[in-house]
Chains A and B, each alone.
Chain A
Amino acid sequence: MSSFVLQFLNGLTSASTLFMVAAGLSLIFGITRVLNFAHGSMYMLGIYLAYSAIGAFSVGGVLTPVAFWGGILCAAVLVGMVGALVELTVLRRVYRSPELFQLLATFGVVLLTKDLVLWFWGPEDLLGPRAPGLGGAVEILGSPFPEYDLFLIVVGPLILGLLWLLLHSTRWGLLIRAATQDREMAAALGINQKLLFTSTFALGAFLAGLGGALQIPREPAQHFLDFTVIVDAFVVVVVGGMGSIPGAFLAALLIGEVKALCIGIGEIGAFGFGISLPKLTLVVESLVMAAVLIFRPWGLMGRALAVLPDAGEARPLLARNTAATRMAGVAIVAALAITPAFANQYSLVLLVDILIFALFAASLHFLMGPSGMASFGHAAYFGLGAYAAALAFKQAGLPMEISILVGPLVAVLAALSFGWFCVRLSGVYLAMLTLAFAQITWSVIYQWDGFTGGSNGLVGVWPAPWLSGRISYFYLVLLLCGGAVLILRRIIFSPFGYALRACRDSPMRAAAIGINVSRFQWMAFLVAGGFAGLAGALFAFSKGSISPEVLAIGQSVDGLVMVLLGGVQTISGPLVGAAVFTWLQELVARHIDYWRALLGMIIIVIVVAFPHGIVGQLFSRNRAKE
């Protein structure tokens, strides 16, 4: 019994921590509709800054309460200022871009912050001091429980209360609520939106920084924090309902408690086989999120989001091929076809990567663009395609030529089941449910050592001898990826593609003329999943090995970045985005140590210079000229 109570308290502590990060994220999303990927970086900055500030305030190395709490507050305020700076310099310029484009900008900030932190604070983990006066433990039911954890348990609800007061009894809070509900109307009534957005961002970042800084006695400052935190924060925000602060609190509570219980209960046995619950902590967030979203499509306390009339221009109709673009396409393919004649061997290796990622990005674009469903978990199909091909080859002993086809087949099957659930949702909720499924798939592959090779993955996945040369494999990839991209393009302009766009632009009218909207969207998942699976299968054989990274979040994010970089409203955009991103990353990683910072800066510059994506911008320029 006592252990149950203590584990419940542990759950409360982690819930408080989760809530503080998620609250800021939810607030920012509610007002600006920006999915702030850099929120985790703000958390990380908070903990690093707190470490330094506390050190600086401890005169003569003596840690006083003033130094400790002053350091934490100072760190949080600084992070708030950084948040405001990011909003002023970058995000302000891209509010009118196509949806999710802001995500790309914040991704650039993530990369930049990562390297700045490494450069400034060095590579080692920095474990901060214990809180003066709260460093010990109190006895609860015969077991010592850290005083600081008790303090955190109080802080979470306290911040919830303060935020509630701020939103409900100040003028600023009134404006925030007005803007959350109807941004355009608020603007029409003469509310200074710019100031509102900047201040929201500053407050959100302040909360993230505070959340980080308050962890200083509990965990060391280290470089992975941004990524581990951001995913958890997104999950909490979505489970709670986007923009709902009390919802975020409830969600944090749910996730914190489920996790603590998994660890507390340990091994359970039923029907003759045992399940190790602690192992579930790897995916418990995703499991909770999937379960909640399947039953509550808007999260625990969320509502359907108001449509933003001023967010992004109306989508242009996708341009059909003109004679000129057709010529350009033929020229590019022809140029690629003759590269082996003059390029060095490595160019072929790089081109194979680019072609595979181009297909991956194109398949994601099929979902995001014409079908209007963003996916944050597209790596699931890519990775399943890769694993299925590798397993068919290694475990089932099929020839390589057949194994490559098994990849897309399995990916389609996965899309069949994941898509069925996902098409019931929309917008960010849909995107996050795809992420949940991807994470669950990832964790199964990561854990299933005997079959998938676990975290090490599978090796020895090499092409058949007649395809094993770099040149012959390049031609295979060119043929399959090129063909697949053409087919995707054909589908977009087929009646099916037009129907999908109808479902995206006006689901009600589409339904009225007899289109089964969710059935069509479901089929879009199959198409996108299958082509991603093909890309994955080709990827596996091009590398000779495969490991769970191919279906981890990083791979999904790379796909998103490629699509957004090129321009989500064009068909060739994703291809260009994939090429530019892969090539840039390869190039900068080779030439400078702090390559992530440079890549981040390049992305930020591209975002500001091409607010519609690279290809999207070129097209809109052309249109403007006409």
Chain B
Amino acid sequence: MKGLNAVVRWMIAFLLLVIGGAALAQGSIKLGELNSYKIFPAFLDPYKKGMELALEQTNAAGGVFGRNLEIVYRDDNGNPGDAVRAAEELLTREQVHFLLGTFASNVGLAIADLARQRKVLFIAAEPLTDKITWQNGNRYTFRLRPSTWMQTSMLVPDAAKLKKKRWAIVYPNYEYGQSATAAFKDLLKKSQPDVEFVTEQATPLGKIDSGAVVQALIDAKPDAIFSSLFGPDLSRFVRDGNTRGLFKNIAVFNLLGGEPEYLDALKDEAPTGWYVTGYPWYAINTPEHKKFLAAYQKRWKDYPRAGSVVGYATVLSAVAAMKKAGSLDSEKLVAAMEGLQLESPFGRITYRTLDHQATMGAYVGRTGVREGKGVMTTFSYGDGAKFQPSDAEVRKLRPAD
């Protein structure tokens, strides 16, 4: 009797699965989005809001191919193992047409490789690692956000102009920080061969021992500092550096330092005169950005962060690709993504055929404090198309499809 009960229960569960599967079959066009919403909420909350905004706008304008667009969100728990499982679930059970998202570089690379294996399009929104378009690049993967190399190279012209001789470097001790450091040293040496790197501090991610690190930098007596710290590490570094007078008369360059996600946390202690890449949403006067800003603030009663733009532009990219391909077939979508052009809040961007990197750029400028808040005071737009290695170099790095 007991055994029979169990059998009946299993059968019901099975039936429900089948019915559920059938109900999902037609109707909207589904895209699968996976991200570490719970691990990096400061960045991904605004990101998701950007996505939703773009999604609502798309559907209000009639959707794609006259069908409603739908995004199925999955939390990847910040590790590649869970991410691959979630992606498999999106592809098989939810039957999404292609994949979007990811934040951490290792997760991005894992999903990129899954996309290659399963032959589906993947638009990597956030991961910064150069490898996703170069060493581990593949036919099915495209990346939106400017890479570590691109953002670093945007800072180099200003750094070279200063003609500072003694440089100290501090970076979070994982691939992003290592790549940024390597790229910076390499590029700066090319334009200023006599440069000297006096100390390098690699700090455990999220666990910087800021007092000791700041002291070590003071002792190295540098003329300038290149940092790729962000988040809590950056806050601690800035506060300790301010207290101990590290930044007096020293030029500081900080990758990503101007992104509201990281700058806002510092409030009135935000550094002044630092060279950063970031997103000064309050001062960008281009019509396409103004339009985006108004829509975002109207929808969310909040100001956009860098993540919002990335989320927004990711959905726009997906929509543009589908429209250009005129189909949901993977191969046709991939063909459409190559050389795809679209209007983002930062202006027109192109997905390069050469390495599948979008030319979306970042704003480069200097920081200051206004009304008790950190802002970028002077800045210019670093167009991603211009900050790239030569095509020949990229070809050498990227395996042929």
Q: Which of B14, B75, B82 contacts A342 (CB 8 A)?
A: B14
Establish whether residues B175 and A449, one from each chain, have CB atoms under 8 Å apart when the complex forms.
yes
| Interface segment, one of B151-159, B214-222, B323-331 | B214-222
Q: A281-B203, A456-B105 in contact; A264/B219 too (CB < 8 A)? A: yes
Q: How large is the interface on A (under 10, 10 to 19, 20 to 34, 35 or more residues)?
A: 35 or more
Decide if B244 is an interface residue (CB 8 Å cutoff): yes
Residues of the B chain whose Cβ atoms lie less than 8 Å from the Cβ of A548: 106
Establish whether residues B200 and A278, one from each chain, have CB atoms under 8 Å apart when the complex forms.
yes
Bound Cα distance from A271 to B114, whole angstroms: 44
Establish whether residues B215 and A544, one from each chain, have CB atoms under 8 Å apart when the complex forms.
no
Establish whether residues B113 and A545, one from each chain, have CB atoms under 8 Å apart when the complex forms.
yes
Residues of the A chain whose Cβ atoms lie less than 8 Å from the Cβ of B88: 345-346, 349
Q: Which of A115, A149, A462, A586 contacts B85 (CB 8 A)?
A: A586
Residues of the B chain whose Cβ atoms lie less than 8 Å from the Cβ of A550: 81
Q: A123-B45, A462-B117 in contact; A282/B204 too (CB < 8 A)? A: yes
Residues of the A chain whose Cβ atoms lie less than 8 Å from the Cβ of B269: 127
Residues of the B chain whose Cβ atoms lie less than 8 Å from the Cβ of A457: 80, 106, 109-110
Decide if B252 is an interface residue (CB 8 Å cutoff): no
Residues of the B chain whose Cβ atoms lie less than 8 Å from the Cβ of A447: 173
Decide if A143 is an interface residue (CB 8 Å cutoff): yes
Q: A136-B243, A220-B235 in contact; A350/B85 too (CB < 8 A)? A: yes
Establish whether residues A459 and B136, one from each chain, have CB atoms under 8 Å apart when the complex forms.
yes
Decide if A259 is an interface residue (CB 8 Å cutoff): yes
Residues of the B chain whose Cβ atoms lie less than 8 Å from the Cβ of A267: 199-200
Bound Cα distance from A336 to B222, whole angstroms: 64
Bound Cα distance from A468 to B218, whole angstroms: 55
Decide if B347 is an interface residue (CB 8 Å cutoff): no
Least distance between A233 CB and chain B CB atoms (Å): 13
Residues of the B chain whose Cβ atoms lie less than 8 Å from the Cβ of A135: 243
Establish whether residues A228 and B207, one from each chain, have CB atoms under 8 Å apart when the complex forms.
yes
Q: Which residues from 312 to 348 on chain A have a C-beta closer than 8 Å to any C-beta of chain B? A: 342, 344-346
Establish whether residues A118 and B109, one from each chain, have CB atoms under 8 Å apart when the complex forms.
no
Least distance between B234 CB and chain A CB atoms (Å): 9
Q: Which of B75, B201, B239, B244 contacts A263 (CB 8 A)?
A: B201
Q: A137-B245, A454-B175 in contact; A344/B17 too (CB < 8 A)? A: yes
Bound Cα distance from A267 to B216, whole angstroms: 11
Residues of the A chain whose Cβ atoms lie less than 8 Å from the Cβ of B240: 146, 218
Q: Which residues from 3 to 38 on chain A have a C-beta closer than 8 Å to any C-beta of chain B? A: 3, 6-7, 10-11, 13-14
Q: Which residues from 363 to 382 on chain A have a C-beta closer than 8 Å to any C-beta of chain B? A: none
Q: A123-B41, A145-B244 in contact; A10/B209 too (CB < 8 A)? A: yes
Establish whether residues A456 and B209, one from each chain, have CB atoms under 8 Å apart when the complex forms.
no
Q: Which of B37, B212, B264 contacts A11 (CB 8 A)?
A: B212
Establish whether residues B201 and A278, one from each chain, have CB atoms under 8 Å apart when the complex forms.
yes
Q: A10-B211, A127-B269, A456-B109 in contact; A544/B216 too (CB < 8 A)? A: no
Residues of the A chain whose Cβ atoms lie less than 8 Å from the Cβ of B41: 118, 123, 223
Residue of A nearest to B211 (CB): A10
Establish whether residues A6 and B215, one from each chain, have CB atoms under 8 Å apart when the complex forms.
yes
> Would you give 19 A-B contacts (Cβ < 8 Å), ordered by A?
A219-B236, A220-B232, A222-B232, A223-B41, A224-B232, A263-B213, A263-B216, A282-B202, A342-B14, A345-B93, A346-B93, A349-B85, A349-B88, A456-B175, A459-B113, A543-B114, A544-B110, A546-B80, A548-B106
